């Protein structure tokens, strides 16, 4: 395990304990989330030295194809809805152009973009997901190491859909992204929201902690801080409505040891339509940002 001595966002060396919970998805091991006393970023500390083994499961849905079973079916329904919503949102701000999706998984987002006239490129660290994207979705997807092979300022849009929380060094990652983004480009970042109603309700059982795969745990305040610190201006915020229902379904099963569909649906509704309607703290938040004009 690697103990961080400094906050990965602001460098402060003082943290407070936020929670300790299990890897409910795979290993059953316990991990701890701490809170920076300076910028309030939540992050996993300590973090595993070999994180790859915590992704090695056929049930990690963003890395796999058409699995059978209820949860995979629910996941695919939500993904299909979200894909359409993502492009409706993007195309309010940019016409189809060259887009890079970092952490593209099996490539469904890029495949839809290609069908809508976008010129697409993808980066994905998981080999099985890359193979699926290539063989099934006919995409040219590269490992993350290939990020240095792209020319500077070569993309009009760069997206990270629930990927930033997996990145151990957010400031360095944002620096690389800035180099690849055209001066008039758009950056789109979606992350789970640790200030959401469902996070507060399920506490240590909240599925979007997803320890230790998620290394960073953002709120609207800390995501804004990272983007602004990296030289971006927020131009819009949005959300993915179905995520609260899916996260509540997973969280309730972790908490009760069985699936609780009605209870999970109720808490998903409370998160989206009662709490977030007034606070803006949706379960999953999206920030759209542009590079600051010099």
pLDDT digits (tens, 9 = 90+) for 1-30: 999 999 999 999 999 999 999 999 999 999
Q: Count the domains in the chain.
A: 1
Burial class for 45, CB neighbours closer than 10 Å (0-12, 13-18, 19+): buried
The answer to whether the beta carbons of residues 132 and 107 sit under 8 Å apart is yes
**Rounded Cα–Cα distance for residues 193 and 276 (Å):** 11
- Range of 71's domain? 53-291
Q: State residue 199's pLDDT score.
A: 97
Cis before 238 (ω within 30): no
For residue 95, is it within any domain? yes
Q: State residue 61's pLDDT score.
A: 45
Q: Work out the percent of the chain whose per-residue pLDDT is above 70.
A: 95
For residue 46, is it within any domain? no
CATH number of 208's domain = 3.40.50.150
The answer to whether the beta carbons of residues 212 and 51 sit under 8 Å apart is yes
The answer to whether the beta carbons of residues 18 and 42 sit under 8 Å apart is yes
Q: State residue 67's pLDDT score.
A: 61
**Rounded Cα–Cα distance for residues 186 and 234 (Å):** 10
Angle at 217 between CA 211 and CA 221, to 5 degrees: 170
For residue 27, is it within any domain? no
Segment 136-184, tens digit of pLDDT: 999 989 999 999 899 999 999 999 999 999 999 999 999 999 999 999 9
Question: For 60-69, 91-100, 234-243, which range has the lowest pLDDT when averaged over its residues?
Answer: 60-69
**Rounded Cα–Cα distance for residues 90 and 113 (Å):** 10
For residue 24, is it within any domain? no
Work out the mean pLDDT of the chain and round it to a whole number. Answer: 92
Residue with tokens 């999970």: 264
| pTM reported for the whole predicted model | 0.93
For residue 240, is it within any domain? yes
Q: Given a cut of 80, is residue 35 above it in pLDDT?
A: yes
For residue 160, is it within any domain? yes
The answer to whether the beta carbons of residues 78 and 241 sit under 8 Å apart is no
For residue 204, is it within any domain? yes
The answer to whether the beta carbons of residues 105 and 133 sit under 8 Å apart is yes
Three-state DSSP state, 181: strand
**Which one-letter DSSP state was computed for residue 275?**
I
Q: Given a cut of 50, is residue 251 above it in pLDDT?
A: yes
Cβ-based neighbour number of residue 203 at 10 Å:
12
Those residues with Cβ within 8 angstroms of residue 162's Cβ, 6 or more apart along the chain or in another chain: 62, 103, 190, 191, 192, 284
């Amino acid at each position: 395990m690697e103990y961080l001595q400094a906050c990965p966002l602001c460098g402060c060396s003082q943290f407070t304990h936020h929670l300790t919970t299990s890897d409910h998805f795979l290993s059953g091991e316990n991990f701890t989330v701490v809170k920076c006393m300076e910028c309030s970023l939540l992050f996993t500390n300590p973090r595993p030295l070999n994180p790859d083994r915590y992704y090695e499961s056929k049930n990690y849905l963003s890395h796999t194809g058409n699995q059978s079973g209820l949860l995979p079916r629910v996941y695919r329904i939500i993904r299909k809805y979200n894909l359409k919503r993502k492009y409706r949102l993007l195309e309010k701000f940019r016409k189809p152009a060259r887009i890079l999706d970092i952490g593209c998984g099996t490539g469904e987002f890029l495949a839809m973009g290609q069908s809508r006239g976008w010129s697409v490129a993808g980066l994905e660290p998981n080999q099985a997901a890359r193979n699926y994207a290539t063989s099934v979705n006919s995409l040219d997807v590269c490992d993350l190491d290939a990020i240095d092979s792209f020319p500077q300022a070569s993309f009009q849009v760069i997206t990270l859909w629930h990927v930033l929380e997996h990145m151990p060094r957010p400031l360095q990652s944002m620096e690389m992204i800035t180099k690849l983004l055209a001066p008039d480009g758009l950056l789109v970042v979606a992350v789970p929201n640790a200030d959401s109603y469902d996070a507060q309700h399920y506490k240590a059982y909240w599925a979007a902690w997803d320890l230790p795969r998620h290394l960073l745990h953002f709120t609207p305040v800390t995501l804004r801080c990272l983007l602004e610190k990296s030289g971006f201006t927020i131009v819009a915020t949005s959300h993915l409505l179905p995520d609260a229902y899916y996260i509540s379904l997973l969280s309730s099963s972790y908490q009760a040891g069985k699936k609780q569909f009605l209870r999970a649906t109720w808490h998903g509704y409370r998160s989206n339509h009662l709490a977030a309607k007034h606070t803006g703290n949706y379960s999953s938040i999206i920030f759209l940002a542009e590079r600051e004009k010099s």
